[in-house]
């Protein structure tokens, strides 16, 4: 009897999004420009490998701003910070580089605007997630967290005619829509955000996984356990037909037993995962007979964000100084 054809369906898009790329490059450029150490508040992006690589280059990750020595440089992570964190950094005379993803900043602005109009803001998100803490900090008196559909009965508002929902950028689209449906049952006048809060990268990676999940026995998602969008990809895969699904940081975390009876493996990665880690998993799978790889492309991405303003200004000044020195040397 011939063996069934073993193959890998590789999801696209996968891996780095524009916000993660910008945040990681911001720390790298800051290290080049100012020299080590550069402090980073929280993990710059939720990926173990990225954090370890930057640590080796001289980044120091801290939990709170008050752990940064006075006058030092600190980068705020892609997940964003509350205004109180900016205030504390100013009090400590820190030089700050804000690597908050512009798509998170957009949600902050929405929160500020609806709070100014005295709306009750129902922020759908995961309790304790850094992004949610940062967004809620923009208008604590107006925002309450709704942590999924089962949390809806706990919501109380002052005026059911002035209620809006916003969300964390990295949630499951389907689960969020279910939360909104239940909220709207309770508050029919509930307003939608002006545009999607769940970002393009989260949505695209989920759509790609939905496309291949029904065709695979096992979905491997490369990503860290604290990465919300990566964890969601495993859930989405299983909900949409993958028989099994696991999250791994590295290829050597894959358990060979997961491959028992598996013909088709799905593979993707979260928005904070460098492609080299996916390549390692492909090699690992090829060594076990899964050498045939079909990439399934469900969308093209071309979005790029410019570096944080403070950093661009300093890079430009450094370049100008270098050019002036070069001109002096010639005269």
Single out the segment in contact with ligand SF4 by CB under 6 A; choices: 100-108, 114-122, 145-153, 293-301.
100-108
Single out the segment in contact with ligand SF4 by CB under 6 A; choices: 25-33, 112-120, 199-207, 277-285.
199-207
Helices 200-212 and 228-239 cross at an angle (nearest 10°) of 30
Query: 46 with 269: CB under 8 angstroms?
Result: no
Which of 131, 175, 239, 287 is an active site residue?
131
Q: Closest CB to ligand SF4 among 45 and 285?
A: 45
User: Does 202 participate in binding ligand SF4 (rule CB under 6 A)?
Assistant: yes
Residue from 77, 169, 206, 211 binding ligand SF4 (CB under 6 A): 169
**CA-based angle 13:168:119, to the nearest 5?**
140
Single out the segment in contact with ligand SF4 by CB under 6 A; choices: 5-13, 178-186, 197-205, 231-239.
197-205
Q: Which conformational region is residue 128 in: left (phi greater than 0), alpha (psi within -120 to 50 degrees), or beta? A: left
Single out the segment in contact with ligand SF4 by CB under 6 A; choices: 31-39, 81-89, 97-105, 155-163.
97-105
Helices 48-57 and 18-34 cross at an angle (nearest 10°) of 10
Tokens of 143: 């925002």
What are the binding residues for isopentenyl diphosphate? 46, 79, 129, 227-229, 272
Q: Closest CB to ligand SF4 among 156 and 302?
A: 302
User: Does 19 participate in binding ligand SF4 (rule CB under 6 A)?
Assistant: yes
270: number of Cβ within 10 Å? 30
Q: Which residues contact 78 (CB under 8 A, 6 or more apart)?
A: 19, 20, 22, 23, 44, 45, 99, 100, 101, 104
Residue from 8, 201, 236, 307 binding ligand SF4 (CB under 6 A): 201
Closest separation in Å from C-beta 198 to ligand SF4: 8
Residue 178 annotated in active site:
no
The residue ranges of DSSP E strands in the chain, in sequence order, are 7-12, 38-41, 59-62, 73-76, 95-98, 120-124, 143-146, 163-167, 218-222, 244-248, 264-269, 292-297
282: number of Cβ within 10 Å? 17
Q: Closest CB to ligand SF4 among 73 and 100?
A: 100
Residue from 11, 30, 75, 78 binding ligand SF4 (CB under 6 A): 78
User: Does 11 participate in binding ligand SF4 (rule CB under 6 A)?
Assistant: no
**CA-based angle 270:243:259, to the nearest 5?**
85
User: Does 213 participate in binding ligand SF4 (rule CB under 6 A)?
Assistant: no
Residues with catalytic function: 131
Residues lying near ligand SF4 in the complex (CB under 6 A): 17-20, 78, 101, 103-104, 169-170, 199, 201-202, 229, 271
């Amino acid at each position: 009897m011939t063996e069934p054809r073993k193959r890998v369906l590789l999801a696209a898009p996968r891996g780095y999004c524009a916000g993660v790329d910008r945040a990681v490059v911001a720390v790298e450029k800051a290290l080049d420009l100012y020299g080590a150490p550069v402090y980073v508040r929280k993990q710059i992006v939720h990926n173990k490998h990225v954090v370890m690589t930057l640590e080796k280059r001289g980044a120091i990750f801290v939990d709170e701003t008050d752990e940064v020595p006075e006058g030092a440089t600190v980068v705020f992570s892609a997940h964003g910070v509350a205004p109180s964190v900016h205030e504390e950094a100013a009090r400590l005379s820190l030089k700050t580089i804000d690597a908050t993803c512009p798509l998170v900043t957009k949600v902050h602005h929405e929160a500020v605007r609806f709070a100014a109009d005295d709306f009750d803001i129902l922020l759908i998100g995961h309790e304790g997630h850094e992004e949610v803490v940062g967004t809620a900090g923009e208008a604590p008196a107006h925002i309450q967290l709704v942590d999924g559909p089962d949390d809806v009965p706990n919501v109380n508002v002052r005026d059911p005619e002035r209620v809006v929902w916003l969300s964390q950028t990295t949630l499951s689209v389907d689960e969020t829509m279910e939360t909104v449906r239940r909220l709207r049952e309770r508050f029919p006048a509930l307003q939608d955000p002006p545009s999607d809060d769940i970002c393009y990268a989260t949505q695209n990676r989920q759509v790609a996984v939905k496309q291949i999940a029904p065709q695979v026995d096992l979905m491997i998602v490369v990503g860290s356990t604290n990465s919300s969008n990566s964890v969601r990809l495993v859930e989405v895969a299983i909900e949409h037909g993958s028989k099994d699904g696991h999250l791994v940081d590295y290829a050597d975390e894959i358990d060979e037993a997961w491959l028992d009876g598996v013909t088709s493996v799905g593979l993707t990665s979260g928005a904070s995962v460098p492609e080299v880690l996916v390549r390692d998993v492909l090699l690992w799978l090829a060594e076990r007979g899964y050498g045939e790889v079909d990439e399934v492309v469900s969308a093209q991405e071309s979005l790029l964000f410019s570096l944080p303003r403070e950093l661009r200004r300093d890079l430009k000044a450094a370049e100008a100084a270098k050019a002036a020195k070069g001109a002096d040397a010639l005269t």
